[in-house]
Amino acid sequence: MILATSFAAHVADYIVALASVYTLAIIGYIIVILAFSAGLRLPYTRWTDAVLTFLRDVTEPFLRLFRRILPSFGGIDLSPMIAIIVLQAAARLIASAIHP
C-alpha cells in the first residue's frame, strides 16, 4: 500500500512539473514573439533557428485552441494567459485527484 501511495505521489509531482515546464515554454515563446515584433532580430544561426522552431511547434497547437475560442481584443492576444491559467489549474486538479 505504501508503494502505491508513493507511486501516486511521484506521478502527481511529475504532472505538476510537466505543466510547469510547458508553462515556461509558452512564456519563452511569447517573449521571443514580443522581441521580434519590437524589431529585435537575432542573427541567423542553426541553434537559434532550432530553438525557435521547437518553441513554435510545441506551443502553437495548444495556444491555437484558445485563439479559436477567444475574440480578438484589438491586437492584444490573451490566449497565452488563459492557456497558462487553464494548464496550471488542470495540472493541479489532476494531481490532486491522483494523490489527495
Domain boundaries, the chain: 2-98
| Rounded (10°) angle between helices 79-98 and 46-69 | 80
Whether 42 has a pLDDT exceeding 90, the answer reads no
**Alpha helices (H) in the chain, listed in sequence order:** 2-37, 46-69, 79-98
pTM for the whole thing? 0.85
Residues 62/83, Cβ–Cβ less than 8 Å: yes
**What is the pLDDT at residue 72?**
75
| Residue with the larger pLDDT of the pair 54 and 3 | 54
Residue of 1 and 85 predicted with greater confidence: 85
